[in-house]
A and B are shown apart, each in its own frame.
Chain A
Amino acid sequence: MTDITRTDVLIVGAGPIGLFAVFELGLFDMKCHLIDILDRPGGQCAELYPEKPIYDIPGWPSISAQGLVDRLLEQIAPFKPDFTFNRMVSSLEKLEDGSFRVITDENEVFEAKVVVIAAGGGSFQPKRPPIPGIELYEGKSVFYSVRRMEEFRGHDLIIVGGGDSALDWTLNLQPVAKSVTLVHRRPEFRAAPDSVNKMYAMQEMKELDFQVGQVTGLSGADGQLSSATIKGPSGDIEVPCTRMLPFFGLTMKLGPIAEWGLNLHENMIPVDTEKFQTSVPGIFAVGDINWYPGKLKLILSGFHEVALMAQAAKRIVSPGERIVFQYTTSSTSLQKKLGVAG
């Protein structure tokens, strides 16, 4: 029997809106657990544009995206939220008592009285490079991550990309694979200069091959690669290969949320604008992932949404309990929760 993690509110997505939901729910004494596919909190703010300034956060004429995430983490610290990173929520089921069971892609089991979907543009997943027919090889001879290095032993391997993942795996798999060819669009790399220097040194020793170019075609049968066409500065070349690892960054996909039985509107989840509840009572959707007439995908709109959502969530988590509207400026009970009471 797998251990079950129980919490009041399970939040899917640890971006700015998921984080601020912890604050609003915390003021009503609800305990939160957040699950995110990234390895750290912050969502798009942390992954896509951490250093970009945001100019429309009330009270902050300018704040970097990472700065906002850091301050949200500080703001919610009194409520001691739990985080599970590097996981995608794969299934969600309503139990007989009205609570929800959520299972991750690593089979961890969570049970919560309320589920809040704050998944933004969806989960970050490896980007599929634009190579015709690549999907026929995925999972068989084309992989987007390395789970076990042994799977590459004795293979002619092509690694595509110019970032740290591409360079690190080029260096790490070189001793294991039969041959390694690194393919990158240009001779400049985003990866750490040290890795790049090591790669060039190994190329010098003919321990690996580096080709400038773009992979434009694949050949093989039954999901098994036999060669790749690389379009380079001096024309097309054909490189034999039996495994390929493309590292083309991350993109956002709605993912398994689409299969949870919620109504959808163009890959967004329709909600009402009083509670921000989905078509399933007890499941709320806030931030960029929800839709309602007039919806604006702004962080500040998400902040408003979680405040109202928290009221509705409280009625589910503590039925019958009277909800008292209070201000953090004047309520000693709220200030106690925040750890600032005099």
Chain B
Amino acid sequence: MTKLTFIAHDGTHFDVDAENGSTVMENAIRNAVPGIEAECGGACACATCHVYVDEAWTAEVGEPEAMEEDMLDFAYDVQPNSRLSCQIKVRDALDGLVVRVPARQG
């Protein structure tokens, strides 16, 4: 199991055990992390699972692909460390990953 930490907008930490191969979004939904809506269910089609990747992890997580960048145009307060959590696949190298949930989704 890979450990993920979601930090909700109110500062609450959610530490979850994630299965490799699942998406960060799926783990947020499964653990009822507030502020992740995932309206489209993970199709990279809505930008409502937007998260900020902790600065220490941006290099390992990597950059969004072109399609995800396009969807990020629809997100709220997009920062250089913004990602759509449905497009981040959990793997061993992400053990300990920290992501923050924005104030709102779109």
- Distance between B44 CB and nearest chain A CB, rounded to angstroms: 8
Find B106's partner among A163, A190, A251 (CB 8 Å cutoff).
A251
Q: B77 interface residue, CB < 8 Å from A?
A: yes
Contact in complex: A49, B43 (CB < 8 Å): yes
Contacts of A251 in B (CB 8 A): 39, 46, 106
- Distance between A310 CB and nearest chain B CB, rounded to angstroms: 28
Q: A188 interface residue, CB < 8 Å from B?
A: yes
Interface-located stretch among B12-20, B55-63, B65-73 = B65-73
A 116-138 contacts with B by CB, 8 A: 121, 127, 130
Find A52's partner among B43, B69, B106 (CB 8 Å cutoff).
B43
Q: Which residue of B lies closest to A48 (CB)?
A: B45
Count A-B contacts at CB 8 Å.
43
Contact in complex: A127, B106 (CB < 8 Å): yes
Q: B78 interface residue, CB < 8 Å from A?
A: yes
A332–B72 Cα distance when bound, in Å, is: 53
Contact in complex: A130, B73 (CB < 8 Å): no
Given contacts A130-B77, A251-B106, contact A48 B70 (CB under 8 A): no
Contact in complex: B39, A248 (CB < 8 Å): no
- Distance between A280 CB and nearest chain B CB, rounded to angstroms: 28
- Distance between B74 CB and nearest chain A CB, rounded to angstroms: 5
Q: B104 interface residue, CB < 8 Å from A?
A: yes
Q: B1 interface residue, CB < 8 Å from A?
A: no
A252–B37 Cα distance when bound, in Å, is: 13
Find A162's partner among B39, B40, B73, B104 (CB 8 Å cutoff).
B73
A248–B73 Cα distance when bound, in Å, is: 7
Q: A282 interface residue, CB < 8 Å from B?
A: no
Which size class do B's interface residues fall under? 10 to 19
A49–B46 Cα distance when bound, in Å, is: 10
Task: Convert A93-113 into 0s and 1s, putting 1 for each residue whose CB lies closer than 8 angstroms to a CB of B.
Answer: 000000000000000000000
Task: Convert A235-252 into 0s and 1s, putting 1 for each residue whose CB lies closer than 8 angstroms to a CB of B.
Answer: 000000000000011011
Q: A314 interface residue, CB < 8 Å from B?
A: no
In the complex, given contacts A49-B43, A185-B73, A190-B73, what are 12 additional A-B residue pairs having Cβ atoms less than 8 angstroms apart?
A44-B40, A48-B40, A127-B106, A130-B76, A130-B77, A130-B104, A188-B69, A214-B78, A248-B106, A249-B73, A251-B39, A251-B106
Could you list which residues of chain A lie within 8 angstroms of chain B, going by C-beta atoms?
A: 44, 48-49, 52, 121, 127, 130, 161-163, 184-186, 188, 190, 214, 248-249, 251-252
14 contacts between A and B (CB under 8 A): A48-B40, A49-B43, A52-B45, A130-B77, A130-B106, A162-B73, A184-B73, A185-B73, A186-B73, A188-B69, A190-B73, A248-B73, A251-B39, A252-B39
